[in-house]
Amino acid sequence: MVILHVKRGDENQFLYETSVDKSVDEVVKDIVAIFNGRLKVTRICYELDELREHGTFLPQEMQGLTDEQIQELKLEDPWAQRCAPQGYVFKKDEMGRRCGLAPPEHMQAVLKKAAETAKEIISKKHVDLRKCMTQKDVAKALDELRGATKIVFPAGLPPHDPVRMELDNVEDLTGTQAANEVIDPSRACLWACGKKLINSNKLSDHLGRNDKSKVTVKLCSSSEGAPGREPIMTEEERKQLMLQAYRKQEEWKKLEQDDDDNYLNSKWADGQNMKRQFHGLNNISWKPVLRK
C-alpha cells in the first residue's frame, strides 16, 4: 500500500494509506472527509471547553446583552433550566454567549477528558509516529465527544448550541474564520512533485506502479493555484549544515592566526629525530641529582 503524507500548505496533517490502483477522485474525497472531520473535532473541542465552563449557549437574541438589557427587553432563555446538568453551579460568562449554568466539577472532568482524548485521536503527532488516519478515527473522536455530552447533559443540548449543531452536522460557518479552513470536496485537488493529480486518472498514472512507497501530497482548493514545492532539505538538516559550515569557518580562522613557523615544533620537522631513534635515545628523560 502506498502512503500519502498529506500537507496543507507547509503544515503536516496526517498519513493516508491507499492503493495505486484507486482513482484520484476517490482518494481526494476520502482525504477531504478526514481533513474536514478533523477541523470539526477541533471546533467541538473548543466549544466543549466553553460548555463545561459556562453552560449551554444563549439564544441569538440574548447574546452580548447585559443583565439589565435582558430584563428591560423581558428576554428569557427557555432552554437554560431544561438542559441544565444535575447539580449545576452558576458561573457567569463575561462574553455573554452562554447561560452560566455550568456542570459540577466532577462532570467538567468528564468533558475535559473527552476533549483531550478526541484531540489525541486526530493529532498531527501521528505523522511522526508513522500512524495512518482514516475516517473511522474521526468518527471515533466524534463518538467520544458525543458520549461525554450525553453523560453530562442527559436532557440534551439546545438546538442552537454549537456543540449540538456540529454533532448533528447542521452547523452554519458562514462569515467565520472556520469557513475559510474547510475545503469544498467538489473543488478539492491534490498536488505531488509540483504537478496536479487529475481526478479522472488513477494514482498509478501519476505515482507509478510501486505500491510500497511514500509520497508527499498537498491538499488544495482549485481556486488556490499551485502550492509551493517541498524544500530540498528539512529544517533539521539545514541547521546541521549551517553548524558544520560555522565549525569549518572557525577552524580556518584558527589556522590563519597560527605562526607560520609553528610546524617546526613538530616531530616530523626535527632533522635529528631519525638519528636519536637509531641510538635508542627518543624517550629519555633526565633530572639533576641533588648532592648533600
| Residue pLDDT tens, the chain, 292 long | 899 999 998 889 999 999 989 999 999 999 999 999 999 999 999 999 999 999 999 998 898 888 888 888 889 889 999 999 999 999 988 888 999 999 999 999 999 999 999 999 999 999 999 999 999 999 999 999 999 999 999 999 999 999 999 999 999 888 888 889 999 999 999 998 888 999 889 988 888 888 888 999 999 988 887 777 766 667 788 888 888 888 888 888 877 766 555 556 666 666 677 777 766 766 666 666 666 5
Look at residue 242 and tell me if it is in a domain.
Answer: no
| 195, 230 contact by CB (below 8 A) | no
Q: What is the pTM of this model?
A: 0.77
Query: What does the alpha-carbon distance between residue 197 and residue 146 come to, in Å, rounded to a whole number?
Result: 36
3-state secondary structure of 151: helix
Contacts 24+ apart (CB under 8 A), 285-292: none
Query: Which range of residues forms the domain containing residue 89?
Result: 2-221
* Whole-angstrom distance, CA of residue 58 vs CA of residue 160: 8
Query: Per the domain annotation, does 283 fall within a domain?
Result: no
Residue 142, domain member (yes or no):
yes
Question: Is the residue at 209 inside a domain?
Answer: yes
Question: Is residue 65 in a domain?
Answer: yes
* Count of domains forming the chain: 1
Contact 80, 98 (CB under 8 A): no
Q: Which three cell numbers stand for residue 34?
A: 478526514
What cell numbers appear for 95 in the block? 462574553
Please indicate, yes or no, if residue 244 is contained in any of the structural domains. no
Contact 15, 137 (CB under 8 A): no
Q: Do the domain assignments include residue 85?
A: yes
